[in-house]
Amino acid sequence: MRFTYAEAMTNPDFYVPLAQAAEEAGYHGITLPDSVCYPEVSDSTYPYTPDGSREFLEDKAFPETFILAMAMAAATKTLRFIPFVLKLPIRPPVLVAKQAATVSYMSNNRLALGVGLSPWPEDFEVMDVPFPKRGKRFNEAIDIVRGLTNGGYFEYHGEIYDIPSIKINPVPTQPIPILVGGHSEAALRRAVVRGDGWMHAGGDAEELDRLLGRLNEIRKEEGKENDPFEIHVISGDAYTLDGIKRLEDKGITDVIVGFRLPYIMGQDTQPLEKKIAHLNRYADSVISKLN
């Protein structure tokens, strides 16, 4: 089992020291949040709060994901960086490929690219990207990012994108794992067919078991049940040794752990020292007992 530390919507000055502390404590990775902007007016709802409210996001700091990854990479040696998740379809995929390749190369292959859809039409609007056919756009963007970051000349002729034969440089010495987030049928199938793994957004144990079961069914349908496949989950079982064993038995490869509820109004007032104490306490009680 691998352990990923999660923190978001906190003081941007905390991210680098938290990355250093997580690496020292024995975590394998750290998540990076992604948000382009906050719309003043929106009819959209947020999918991860019980009532769909989004107001808690206002005035929360979201450093640009790839820039934050490079800042952390410069201050660490082994920690893996996992956007959780990058809103890929609102971005030009060639630019994302260039950014991801650079981060991976400069960090010695320490980027795992978590990608997902944005729930907000406003994200597409401000980036001048059509909201319709966003699933098709997402699929093609994944193919383009993978093709370009693998090195050599690459061209793509799809329904959404038409790219002549080009190459980018530098590219990493290892392929960048692409991890697809989302709980819908389309997201699960996308993770299996186009991705190297799946990222769970949270929920109760019964729902997680249903999602894992469906993932396994799709992997068998696609003839990929024996292929390497990362499964990153958020689970209450991740906080005990017995729980970790149960998750391992279900085929889970990575757990995402955090020690603060981020979906709150107002700014995060938890001091950096307390955050480091929390991540160290978990490392001492769980990670050190298993590694």
pLDDT digits (tens, 9 = 90+) for 136-185: 999 999 999 999 999 999 999 999 999 999 999 999 999 999 999 999 99
pLDDT computed for residue 263 by the predictor: 83
pLDDT digits (tens, 9 = 90+) for 189-207: 999 999 999 999 999 999 9
Length of the chain: 291
pLDDT digits (tens, 9 = 90+) for 259-289: 998 888 899 999 999 999 999 999 999 999 9
Mean pLDDT of the chain: 96
The two structure tokens encoding residue 17:
């020291």
Instruction: CATH number of the domain at 281, please.
Output: 3.20.20.30
Number of domains in the chain: 1
pLDDT band at 251 (very low <50, low <70, confident <90, very high): very high
Q: Is residue 140 within 8 Å of 121, Cβ to Cβ? A: no
Alpha-carbon distance of 260 to 81, in angstroms, equals: 20
Residue 233's CB is within 10 A of a number of other CB atoms, namely 22
pLDDT digits (tens, 9 = 90+) for 223-250: 999 999 999 999 999 999 999 999 999 9
Residue 92 has pLDDT above 90, yes or no: yes
Range of the domain at 106: 2-290
Residue 85 has pLDDT above 90, yes or no: yes
* Average pLDDT of span 54-58: 91
pLDDT computed for residue 130 by the predictor: 97
Taking the whole predicted model, whether its pTM rises above 0.85 is answered as yes
pLDDT band at 47 (very low <50, low <70, confident <90, very high): confident
pLDDT band at 68 (very low <50, low <70, confident <90, very high): very high
Alpha-carbon distance of 73 to 132, in angstroms, equals: 36
- Residue 250 phi, psi (nearest 5): -90, 0
pLDDT band at 5 (very low <50, low <70, confident <90, very high): very high
Share of the chain above pLDDT 70, in %: 100
Alpha-carbon distance of 191 to 30, in angstroms, equals: 20
The two structure tokens encoding residue 148:
């370009």
pLDDT computed for residue 119 by the predictor: 84
